[in-house]
Amino acid sequence: MRTIYWLFGVSVALFVSGISFIIAGERTARAATPATTAAAAVDTQPVATVKQIMIGITNPAAYVVYEAVGTKTTAKGIEEIAPQTDEDWAKVGSAAAAVVESGNLMLTGSRAIDKGDWVKMTRDMMEQGQKAMKAAEMKSTDGIVGAGGDLNTTCDNCHARYSRQ
């Protein structure tokens, strides 16, 4: 009778061990799959020039941030400009995100003009875009004014160093 219990215990132990090996193997296979997918996703070819990125993405997006908050003088007097609705704030946040992503594009492939100032100034621009994204998320007009002013400064500094040709 003890032999039967012993055989049953060994069978259960072998079964549990086998299941453990299958689970461990499956986890290893799943861990390897995203790396393969990520490697395939990286295989892209840049087509736009820096100038095209600036004209098509960076400048229009930056102007949305610059013009989101401010004042203007009309026949009625001084008028305050600021996003009023969630949709307005989302547009400002999306424009700020486009500024950040345009920076990523300007650093992709062989677009970086140099590995020094160009990279630093592009990353500065991206940082200001991220600040504007956070300000839009918090619906902070002061945050947009600050981030927009700093973004403008980083753009001016870069354009002074790298002529607009």
pTM reported for the whole predicted model: 0.71
For tokens 């990353």, name the residue. 123
The pLDDT confidence band at residue 113, using thresholds 50, 70 and 90, is confident
| Phi, psi values for residue 24, rounded to 5° | -60, -40
Instruction: Tell me the pLDDT band of 74, cut-offs 50, 70 and 90.
Output: confident
Residue 11: predicted pLDDT: 55
| Residues forming a β-bridge with 78 | 73
User: Look-up: residue for tokens 């790298």?
Assistant: 162
Residue 18 confidence (pLDDT) above 60? no
- Whats the size of the chain, residue-wise? 165
